[in-house]
Structures are given as structure tokens and as C-alpha cells.
Structure 1
Amino acid sequence: MADVADRVTRVAADLIESAAAEGARQSRSAKQQLDHWARVGRAVSSHHTAARRRVEAALAGEADLSTLTSEEGVVFNAEISAAIEEQLAGADYGNLLAAQGVTTVALDEEGRIVQYRPDGTSVVLDDTSA
């Protein structure tokens, strides 16, 4: 079996920044902080207590949020926040809006303002880089 101790992987930039800041407060490197958070998250996610089952029921919409304790509410909010961030990171809003016939405007890699049309064409609106 291959050594999986330190496989190269991509981590979201905001997590690296947060890990570096929190790690500095905890006398850990950013990598050590990410490892710590992952282990804590793994332990919480795999711990199937009655509290965890209540949180999972609330996440599934099968239980009212008012039945959660404040600690369970913190876990619920963390689960929702992580799910939202994962969805946002994976969404291509330009293509979604184009499919609905919406023209969008965004900065390109060179910092220029570009208009993206639903038909797939685009035009540079502000070419101050020239």
C-alpha cells in the first residue's frame, strides 16, 4: 500500500488563509491546523449519538430546528455553511445565467471588464491594460 501520509491535494484559498491565522494562534502551521480541523470534523461526522441524529434529521428537514440544543445548532450551522460553500465553489454562474438568456459582465484574467453574451460571444468593455 502506498504511503498516503502527505498526498498533494488542492485546498480552497480561504481555508488556507483561515488555517494560517488560526494555526498561528495555536502554534501550528497551516497544514497542521488543516489536519487538526479535518480530524475534528471526521470525529464529529462519524460520531452517531442522539445529538448527531437530531442534527442530521434537522438537515434533512425531518426535525424542527427549535428542537436542537445550542451546541447542536452550532453543528447544524457549520454543516449548512460547508454545504453552501461547496455548492458555490462548484457552480459556474456564467453558464447558468447564459442558459437563461442573461448577459453578464466580469473581470477577465487580465483585469479587463468583459461582457459575456448568452450566445457565447464576448466583448471587452474596458481595455485599460493596453
Structure 2
Amino acid sequence: MARVKAAMGRKARVAADLMDAAAFEGKLHARSATQQLEHWARVGRLVSAQPAEASRRIEAAFAGALDERDLSAEERVVWNAELDTAICEAASAVRFGEVLAARGVTTVALDEHGRLTHHHPDRTKPPG
């Protein structure tokens, strides 16, 4: 998580992947990472304020009551953005290492220095 200065001097936590993407995208548009995040937030606020009927149709598609192919092109843009966000939020909440350790699976991950480390279910460390 990165911290950025938000409105009225408060600090806001931002996921590292979003900060990285904002820094990259911001360079393309002569914006700082913080300015890019603000831009995305403003665009997202306007997209979320879709007319009530469009919002109901998008919610119906999420509930499976309406096939997403029946959404208009504009509704599909919002549907895809909402779906991508929901997937990212759900994935960030899962602790895959903990889930796999509970199943007896050894995992490998990068540590804070970029080195591969083994994580054994019994929390022992491999030699060397």
C-alpha cells in the first residue's frame, strides 16, 4: 500500500498496483501519479452516476437476470469496469499462502528483496 496526500491534507492508502499503474499512465498524460489517481476517481464517479435504468440493467447482469450481451455498448463498459474491480478486490482479500498451507501445500514467493522463498505448511524454513 502506498500513501498519497488526499483532499484537505489527509493521507489515503492506495494499493501498490494502482500507484504503479497511475505513475505509468500519468507520464503519458503529463500528470503525477496522484493527479492520475484523482483523474480516475473523477471519471469513476461519473461512470457510477449512470442513469437509474442503466444501473438497474447492469445490476441485473451481475445477478444473472440479464445476459451481459444484452447491455448497450456504454452499459458494457461500466459492467466490465465493475466486474474487473470486483475481481481485484476479491483477489486481494484472499490469503492464498494461508489457504494452501492449511491444505499442506508448500508455496514459493518473492520476499521483500526479490528473492524466492519457500513457505512450508508447518512454517519451517528450508536449509540454505
d(CA) in 2 for partners of 1:16, 1:96 = 27
Structure 2 match to 1:47: 50
Q: CA deviation at 1:113?
A: 3.2
TM-score (norm 1): 0.77
TM-score (norm 2): 0.78
Determine which of 23, 28, 36 is the counterpart of 2:26. Answer: 23
Structure 1 match to 2:64: 61
Q: CA deviation at 1:12?
A: 1.9
Q: CA deviation at 1:98?
A: 0.8
Structure 2 match to 1:96: 99
Structure 1 residues 61 and 101: alpha-carbon distance in aligned structure 2, compared to 1, 3 A threshold: same
Matched residue of 1:89: which SS? Answer: helix
The letter of the residue matching 2:23 is A
d(CA) in 2 for partners of 1:98, 1:24 = 40
d(CA) in 1 for partners of 2:114, 2:103 = 26
The runs of at least 4 consecutive aligned structure 1 residues that moved more than 6 Å come to none
Q: CA deviation at 1:42?
A: 1.8
Unaligned runs of 5+ in 2: 1-6
Q: CA RMSD in A?
A: 2.3
Q: Identity across aligned pairs (percent)?
A: 52
d(CA) in 2 for partners of 1:90, 1:72 = 27
Unaligned runs of 5+ in 1: none
Matched residue of 2:14: which SS? Answer: coil
The letter of the residue matching 2:67 is D
